[in-house]
Structure 1
Amino acid sequence: VDRTMTGQPIQDSREAIINAVMDSLGAYSKTIGQGRAGLLTPKEGHLKYFPQYALAMLKHTAFAAGRSIKLDERAAAMLMFRFCPLEQILSELYPKLYRLNQLAQPPVGRDENGEDIIEWPQPLPCSFEYVHRDGAYLLETGSALYLYVTSYTDQQFMLDAFGADYNNIKQCLLDEVNNDVARRVQAFIKKVVGLKFYLGPLIIVKEDLPNKQLFARRLVDDRTENTFSYVEFINYIRREMNK
């Protein structure tokens, strides 16, 4: 970030990110490989996620190439990396994707204090492979919160959770809906955003509206017109290291 903000070309920063991945995985393979051929990647520990976050950086507005990005947007993204808390930066790079339909299920019991025990949705990999048309999905990106729905999303769940069906849902006001499902959805969203320094409003994304690209672009494991998928990126790193 500092290199780019002092006037160095974006391409230099992108190459530095890729070189950092190759250096770290090369050192790991050399240390652990013990003579075995090929690129070895760790199965646990922080280094396991380094290539994934590096790819996310290459796709992020701060460092992306191959698409038109306004200077103000790029500068704002870089300032976010410099000044926001780490938890928010990590979500900005690799967003957290949740399927909300699970919250239609009643609590599984009560704890010793008499409070409901709710099975909260767990984060999914950031890929459309895990986005099914019958679901409602929450994507927390560090600086924004997206709700993705389709015409096949369970309409009863939408009415219970958001007070509107697919055709009528707009910029929903969750606090205006008062039932058990809506309260669980509200509690979960508060849980997700509780540690964030700043988060914008909940943005409704429909599959048939242009703003679907806002959602799709943040699924960083997927391939786009100008960027690698995660699998393609790992294969690219392997080829570069074998040259």
Structure 2
Amino acid sequence: HDLESEEEVPSPIRCIYERLKDDGIYLLENGLCMYLWIGANVQSNLIQNLFGVSAIQQLNVEKAKILEIDTQISVNLRSLISKINQERKSSLKLTVARKGDSLEYFFKNLLVEDKGTSPNSMSYVDL
């Protein structure tokens, strides 16, 4: 969703992996943890404005923090995360997961409308 617009909170999408676009950045939280998934084809200026690196490959996801700078996307994303933490009355740990990284596995397991990786797993919708 477009965090560069003036929209305070983007509208949610269904928790299905196929809905994620390679040029997108998505925030997912479940009350216990929060993931920021970054697609493989995200524009370099977005990565620069959020993390201070010019390419997604330069981002160390284990140490990544959203820069506190005055760009529209940084301000909006930090505001959204702050709003979620206020609603949850706790500070959820933000984990950054790039498409294809090992952390993406954990992100994908939270997509409740997708079937899991085991043969007998069911989606939330199937229950």
After TM superposition, the score normalised by the length of structure 1 is: 0.46
- Is the 2:38–2:99 contact (alpha carbons within 8 Å) kept by the matching residues of 1? yes
1:22-37 paired onto structure 2 within 5 Å: none
Please give the per-residue CA displacement for 1:155-182, whole angstroms capped at 9, x wherever unaligned: 2222123322311223322244332321
> Partner residue of 1:228?
122
- Aligned equivalents of 1:192 and 1:162: distance in 2? 20
| Superposed displacement of residue 126, structure 1 | 1.0
Does the alignment pair 1:202 with 2:94? yes
* Superposed structure 1 runs of 4+ greater than 4 Å apart: none
Task: Choose which of 49, 53, 56 in structure 2 pairs with 1:166.
Answer: 56
Q: Secondary structure at the match of 2:28?
A: strand
- Aligned equivalents of 2:29 and 2:37: distance in 1? 11
Q: Unaligned 5+ residue runs, structure 2?
A: none
Q: Secondary structure at the match of 1:157?
A: helix
Aligned residues: 122
Task: Choose which of 83, 86, 104 in structure 1 pairs with 2:4.
Answer: 104
After TM superposition, the score normalised by the length of structure 2 is: 0.82
> Partner residue of 1:61?
none
- Aligned equivalents of 1:129 and 1:173: distance in 2? 26
Please give the per-residue CA displacement for 1:107-138, whole angstroms capped at 9, x wherever unaligned: 3xxxxxxxxxx342111111112211110011
Q: Secondary structure at the match of 2:106?
A: helix
Higher relative contact order (CA closer than 8 Å, sequence separation 6+): 2
- Is the 2:28–2:36 contact (alpha carbons within 8 Å) kept by the matching residues of 1? yes
- Aligned-residue sequence identity (percent) comes to 24
Indicate the RMSD between aligned Cα atoms, in angstroms.
2.0
Higher helix proportion (structure 1 or 2): 1
